[in-house]
A = this chain, B = another copy of it.
Amino acid sequence: MKLASLKNGTRDGKLVVVSRDLTRYTDASYLVPTLQAALDNWSRIAPHLEALAEGLDHGSVPSERFHEHDAHSPLPRAYQWADGSAYVNHVELVRKSRGAELPESFWTDPLMYQGGSDSFLGPRDPIVMADEAWGIDMEGEIAVIVDDVPMGASVDQARQAIRLVMLVNDVSLRRLIPDELAKGFGFFQGKPSSAFSPTAVTPDELGEAWDGGRLHLPLFVDLNGKPFGRANAGVDMTFDFPTLIAHAAKTRPLAAGTIVGSGTVSNKLDGGPGKTIAEGGVGYSCLAELRIVETLANGKATSDFMRFGDTVRIEMKDASGHSIFGAIEQTVEKYEG
């Protein structure tokens, strides 16, 4: 099933079940008001939501037209956003561009940061920033929402806890990050509010593309209406989601509704950095990677980060070309606070 949180003037939105083709929705808020409330009691609530999803597909429950731009992120605010960096290829490129070696442990010990989760953007909300000079970048990612995960959970236990899958735009401020990371405490100002796809879907909606740990489909990232990235999220993902979840749960339990992210989707080409789509490659899921590839090739980055007015669109399509999650589509705007 596919779930969304419609904007209704509240902080958490209204929970609805969306049809497989993303054209209709039926209200689920009489069962449980919000997605977090459903996740708080998933084993009891999910069967009722599944019944609504079936009724929606059969036309046996009341429904209305679903508009993606009416949706919040599925969890407009969450109790945890733990973002991995599972495409180690991407991390290696970042290091290489700084002339640094990738520590061997990076291939066995996942990188993960604690992200801010109190105020996500909606999938069609603008990215409002005070200053272009901060180096505004998108990061196209996959994320899962988990049920309660006990401390010290095994990878198998972690796999069983995955409830929903969605897309992410992990907005990053590239020029704030180096100074911030140099301070040693990780990201804060460099990672403003992220946005998620209009729907979060149960793994069974993904069919064979979901193998229990990775999502084997290309992530469509378009910049100003032009194809920018088509990297396959199932390829070169060094750590699968169960491994990332188990990493997060090593020293503490994860509460239901925790979101775990994959990090920027990135594919190698013949063992090295990928090419742009114009050059016949699969492109990239963030501008930073393109700039690194440019730097490695030409000694300097020729592409800029996002400017006011630029638009990024992030989407994923099934084998028949239909959008699975709906699209994240965000334009960068100047903050006049």
Contacts and interface: CB of A to CB of B under 8 A. Distances in A.
A105 B248 CA distance: 31
Given A112-B185, A114-B188, A251 B78 contact: no
A337 B151 contact: yes
A77 interface: yes
A22 to B, nearest CB: 28
Contact of A252 (B116, B252, B258): B116
A188 B78 contact: no
Contact of A188 (B79, B113, B183, B253): B113
Nearest to A154: B337
Contacts of A128: 151
Question: How many copies of the chain does the oligomer comprise?
Answer: 2
B114 A115 contact: yes
* A: interface residue count bin: 35 or more
Contacts of A113: 114, 185-186, 188
A221 B100 CA distance: 43
B80 A337 contact: no
Most buried by B among A111, A185, A189, A255: A185
B186 A114 contact: yes
Contact of A82 (B111, B152, B188, B258): B188
Interface in A249-265: 250-255, 257-258
13 contacts: A79-B119, A80-B117, A106-B183, A109-B183, A113-B186, A117-B117, A119-B253, A130-B251, A134-B251, A151-B335, A173-B251, A185-B186, A189-B250
